[in-house]
Amino acid sequence: MPSPDLCQRHGLVKRCPGGFSVHAARNYKHRRDGPTDYAKCVRKYKIESAAHTPFFYDHQRACVRRRRGKKPVDFSVTPNVQRNVRTSISELHEVNQDPDDGMTVVPSQDIQNDTEYACPVTIGTPGETLTLDFDTGSADLWVWSSQARVSKADMKGRGIYNPSKSRTSKKLRGHTWEVRYGDGSSVSGVVYLDTIVIGDITVENQAVEVARELSDDFLQAGCDGLVGLGFPRLNQVQPNQQKTPMENMIEQGVIKDPIFTVKLDKRDSRGFYTFGFIDETVHCSKFYWQKINKENGWWEVPSAYIKIGDEIYDRGSDNTAIIDTGTTLVLLDDETVEKLYSKVEGATYDEEQADYCEGNVRIPSIEKDPVNLDPDDGMTVVRANDIQNDTEYACPVTIGTPGVTLTLDFDTGSSDFWVWSSEFRASRAQLEGHQIYNPRDITIKKQAVEVAQELSDEFLRGGSDGLLGLGFPKLNTVQPHRQKTPMQNMVEQGLVKDPIFTVKLDKHDSRGFYTFGYINENVHSSKLYWREVITDNGWWEVVSPYVRIGSKIYNRGRSNTAIIDTGTTLILMDDQTIERLYSQIPSARLDEALGGYIFPTKAHVPELAFCVGRWLFTVPSGDLAFSDAGNGMSYGAIQSRGQNKQDILGDVFLKHVYVVFDQGTNPRVGVAQRS
């Protein structure tokens, strides 16, 4: 964790060799205003009048104007428009953690309530930290300054750059700049060369455009200026254009590669910019690259198609789009806008508001596809592959030198690390498809690897090459002396920062993962709810006094506990609870021949919620159908725990939560509901 002082001055959180990242936090000064943001887009891109543009840029008058006289368009009476299906999207309340992992992050505030994002930049010597808007649609770095001709009241609460107090400032004589917008608003001034600090790197001789004249529009803005990340041809300094911050970073060798990235988050301050590298921990799908048309100086790309609902519309191969961090809204051609709002019940074109208005429209969530990366930073992510059709998850582990990569089941219900080996007495057919570890060929440092010589048929049919135990050490079965678990060795050898690991398992895919040494903040929907662990038996065991079946909550007693077990696929509970559950499902029955409860696949199943500590976590009713039992029946994902005293919360439960296992001095688990 970086020092508070460093975070306060530079927003520093992450750094890696060859680059750094800048944290994009919320700026709470901003007041969300759709029409105002729309007008800013119009003036910035000089948008001309069309059927669905309430504002337009008047080139003759060089200003933004509002169209008058047209009656509002009401799509609520449009014939043959199907009522929109609304799918809720969970509001994210992730755990905020800034690991000190060899990379840096600078906080960037959402200064207009999820509509404008800005980042701290320090200018001069001694440094003055200003909150600046990072804008890919321009190429100027301009700031509020002590030379601005505004009142003290307008200056209040702002970061102000005073070049006369900076030992490293140098006025660029004869150079001026002006950014003028179509509605008459503008900002202008003179130019200095000075040192700036973004994140934890220093850029020297950066052209800083000092604002002297600002129109009212800028007086109302929440930020203290702007950092342009567009191409150099957009720079407004006269008579000689100046280098952008990105150009100087590259030429001065302070970043490894000439790239920057942006991640903006909704309703929080955990977005960021990175410079010189790609943060592989945040994106969901793989990257899809596209060449840029930089003739106009913007980050402009072909944009031939759009999907609205289930329909994809071809907008032509010549249609392009500008990716602009300095603009809050999305602007499209009139035909597309009409297609979109014709599908939104109650949407109207409002001349007074100067844009479209609609009711509470909920957009379906987007599937996420995390990229796997194992950074050497005391924290690591291991992908969990679905090897048994959504019932078993395993991860790649490399053993020895040279390494042999095996696919192992990560199991919080055990503490042994065992693998298939060349010493296993099996036929070639049984070995086919499995990776084999040969201890005679390689040496393993310090980690006890339990080499399998005999395996029962159950393991022969399994999809993994062994097991990596993540339970407490007392479960280790090596005799005569128990051996340290992989987690113990990671901690003692300083390979992880904190004695924690986390698990995220996904349904029907291989996008789940385990993390070691840190908490991944990007996956859970609720906050983490912590509960102390009962370690007497070596399991990750917690108090679990309640269960919800349908709308009713049943009290099972304070002594009831549950084991959170990644090595188990099902959920096992006491007989009374099992009976309560299946009695509510028509035609459900205990099939002795099949070995468990089954029920009609098409039957109505109540929603379920399971307890960790004092909190209930939901599992969708559809997940109760674990597998096909034949004749239109499904095998239940929840079965009896028999005489065992503990419930078992296996993968059926884990696929809907994010769990943090803290193996520190006072062991605990943190559980968050996922959307």
Strands 141-143 and 201-214: parallel
Identify the DSSP state of 335.
H
Q: What is the mean pLDDT of residues 653-663?
A: 92
HSE toward the beta carbon, residue 192, CA cutoff 13 A: 23
pLDDT for 319: 94
Q: How far apart are CA 285 and CA 25, in angstroms?
A: 23
- What is the reported pTM? 0.45
Q: How far apart are CA 207 and CA 210, in angstroms?
A: 9
Question: Two tokens at 220?
Answer: 């109302």
Confidence of residue 560 (pLDDT cuts 50, 70, 90): very high
Task: Note if 324 is an active site residue.
Answer: yes
Tell me if residue 117 falls in helix, strand or coil.
Answer: strand
DSSP string, 164-214: GG-TT-EEEEEEEEEEE-TTS-EEEEEEEEEEEEETTEEEEEEEEEEEEEE
pLDDT for 390: 38
Least confident of 39-43, 132-136, 193-197, 642-646: 39-43
Mean pLDDT across the chain: 71
Percentage, residues of the chain above pLDDT 90: 22
User: Please, what's the largest Cα pairwise distance for the chain?
Assistant: 92
Confidence of residue 311 (pLDDT cuts 50, 70, 90): confident
Closest listed residue to residue 258, CA positions, set 249, 266, 267? 249
Residue 459 confidence (pLDDT) above 50? no
Most confident of 347-351, 593-597, 623-627: 623-627
56-79 pLDDT tens trace: 777 776 667 766 544 333 333 222
Name the active-site residue from 135, 224, 465, 623: 135
Least confident of 268-277, 353-362, 544-553: 353-362
Query: Could you give the C-alpha distances from 44 to 135, 299, 404, in angstroms and in order?
Result: 12, 14, 57
pLDDT for 317: 86
Least confident of 307-311, 369-373, 538-542: 369-373
248-305 pLDDT tens trace: 989 998 887 888 888 887 655 567 888 888 877 776 667 888 999 988 888 999 998 8
Question: What domains can you pick out in the chain, each with its CATH number?
Answer: 21-28+106-275 (2.40.70.10), 48-89+287-357 (no CATH), 380-516 (2.40.70.10), 529-673 (2.40.70.10)
Burial string for 502-539 (b: 16+ CB within 10 Å, else e) reads bbbbbeeeebbbbbbbbbbbbbbbbebbebebebeebb
Q: In DSSP terms, which residues pair with 355 in a beta bridge?
A: 350
Amino acid at 610: F
Task: Note if 318 is an active site residue.
Answer: no
Confidence of residue 204 (pLDDT cuts 50, 70, 90): very high
Residue 517 confidence (pLDDT) above 90? no
DSSP string, 622-636: GGGEEEEEETTEEEE
Question: Two tokens at 85?
Answer: 């299906």
Distance from CA of residue 2 to its chain's centroid? 21
pLDDT for 580: 94
Amino acid at 231: F
pLDDT for 565: 87
Q: What is the mean pLDDT of residues 36-65?
A: 66
Confidence of residue 522 (pLDDT cuts 50, 70, 90): confident
Please enumerate in sequence order all residues whose Cβ is within 8 A of that of 535, keeping only pairs 6 or more positions apart, or say none.
Answer: 472, 474, 541, 667
Name the active-site residue from 98, 100, 194, 324: 324
103-155 pLDDT tens trace: 323 334 444 433 456 778 889 998 888 888 888 888 888 888 888 777 666 67
